[in-house]
Chain A
Amino acid sequence: GQSLEQPSEVTAVEGAIVQINCTYQTSGFYGLSWYQQHDGGAPTFLSYNALDGLEETGRFSSFLSRSDSYGYLLLQELQMKDSASYFCAVSPRTGGFKTIFGAGTRLFVKA
């Protein structure tokens, strides 16, 4: 089977940098994705890592290390609007065409 572990909550200050970790146990997957969800809203896609290493998209970066079964989302220059839940997700190579999500990390950005 597969499971993804994320911290349930993270708090950071406006303007700071925060890292949200995702550790996983899965036999193999295509890539690691990150989604953002504001309260009452729909999840929206942020970033995808097919290969090991860092992917940068503006203030957001995502990292994957398959050898360490680990990835993270890095948010820089935090803004109040970044307060949201963040989910990591994988699509396993076996067991059908599924995208499996972690339980999510709630980010609180303080002034």
Chain B
Amino acid sequence: NAGVTQTPKFQVLKTGQSMTLQCAQDMNHEYMSWYRQDPGMGLRLIHYSVGAGITDQGEVPNGYNVSRSTTEDFPLRLLSAAPSQTSVYFCASSYSGPLQGPYNSPLHFGNGTRLTVT
């Protein structure tokens, strides 16, 4: 199992450009999510999905779009990049996420995409 695979590892964009960060998992996990990590601010949830065809907003969704056409893939789209979106982006998946309630379903993280917007 490769686990959670993110591409690219690094990306530099100019303000206003668009791009898609790719995320794929081979663990048949229903729950997938995107986080951004900035110094001193921990991990902040951008969007999440509880299954194919179902997505919802997290804490910081503005400027980002997602879709979930298959169980395996959960791409994150930046529509018009801004310097404030310079960050490290992590994709994470779990068997069921918080759907399990009190039963633990830990998040498995990809290795991240380091994005710089100039």
Knowing A43-B90, A50-B104, A97-B31, the reply to whether A87 touches B109 (Cβ < 8 A) is no
Bound form: Cα–Cα A89–B109 in Å: 14
Q: What distance in Å separates the Cβ of A51 from its nearest Cβ neighbour in chain B?
A: 8
**Count, A-B residue pairs, CB within 8 A:** 68
B residues near A30, Cβ cutoff 8 Å: 98, 100-102
Bound form: Cα–Cα A41–B112 in Å: 8
Q: What distance in Å separates the Cβ of B16 from its nearest Cβ neighbour in chain A?
A: 29
Q: How many residues does chain B have at the interface if contact means C-beta atoms less than 8 Å apart?
A: 32
A44 located at the interface, meaning its Cβ lies under 8 Å from any Cβ of chain B in the complex: yes
Bound form: Cα–Cα A30–B44 in Å: 19
Q: Which chain A residue has the least Cβ–Cβ distance from B43?
A: A101
Beta-carbon contacts under 8 Å, A89-111 to B:
89, 91-92, 96-104
The answer to whether A97 and B41 have CB atoms under 8 Å apart is no
Knowing A99-B45, A103-B42, the reply to whether A45 touches B106 (Cβ < 8 A) is yes
Bound form: Cα–Cα A27–B101 in Å: 15
Beta-carbon contacts under 8 Å, A2-26 to B:
8
Bound form: Cα–Cα A96–B98 in Å: 9
B residues near A83, Cβ cutoff 8 Å: none
Beta-carbon contacts under 8 Å, B58-110 to A:
58-59, 90, 92, 97-104, 106-110
Bound form: Cα–Cα A96–B83 in Å: 29
Can you list 5 A-B contacts (CB < 8 A)?
Answer: A42-B111, A43-B43, A96-B57, A98-B48, A103-B42
